[in-house]
Amino acid sequence: MKVLFRSRIDMPAALELTRDLADRLGTRGAVVVFDAGTGAALGRPGEPIASTDADVIVCVGGDGTILLAVHEMGRQRPILGVNYGEVGFLADLEPAEASAFLDGLVGGFTVEPRMRIMISVDGSVIGTALNEAVIVTSRPAKMLRFSVLIDGVRSEHFRADGLLVSTPTGSTAYAMSAGGPLVDPRIEGFLLVPLAPYMLSSRPHLISSDRRVELGLESSKPAHLVIDGQAQFELDQHALLRVERSAEPALFVDVGRNFFEKVDRKLRRL
């Protein structure tokens, strides 16, 4: 088994934990490598995560570290997150638990797929999100006008500060802060959450991923599309976005932790 380690490189304690976990796993028969940035920070050889053939990616950091790894991978590979951030909802293990779990990793593991969404703008694919894609105005305190079309039928037409399209996995991230519901990640659907809508009737929608969902931007004001907080694109004033289920889900090592237990532990007891 080959395991690639990626760490937050701005935290010496995270790098130290990464080195210790990697050295320990190496003594148990695994082939251990580091991604290029982590390797450079530790003074060890590294390889690009985009072209790695590792069986597992171990990320030591917060959700941003994991999201960046998902975005950089050429082909999705199972990720195991060790939390060294704040909430770290995508990271299933705390530092104190990591060594014991990794000891058994070489013996085999199961994988949990997580739906991603693919975003097209005016017919061209521009990115894929594990958490969310959000359309926001580039001018503070200015509203945008949106249309939502489902299977070609306009279901919503409203003004708001922005519009967020989330996966079920992302329902515990920005979408939750914006007033959206928590969604079981085993459900495959698109969660649409208006950001500060002008009308009280503009409510979040959970739409089956089998439907054709299009978002029309109707505004004279400039806007940006931000995907997973990692990539930003400028949108034309009358852009048409299409939301589809990605053919390639993200993959996470299943540590046997119930989603709703994690919600209680990480989100209700902060």
Nearest CA to 217 among 263, 266, 162? 162
Q: Classify 213 as helix, strand or coil.
A: strand
Q: Which of 10, 55, 63, 122 is catalytic?
A: 63
Nearest CA to 41 among 58, 63, 19, 70? 19
Residue 201 in tokens: 């009737």
Our CA angle for 59, 108, 89, nearest 5°, is 35
Torsion of CA 28, 34, 40, 42, to 10 degrees: -30
264 part of the active site: no
- 167, 129 contact by CB (below 8 A): yes
Catalytically annotated residues:
63
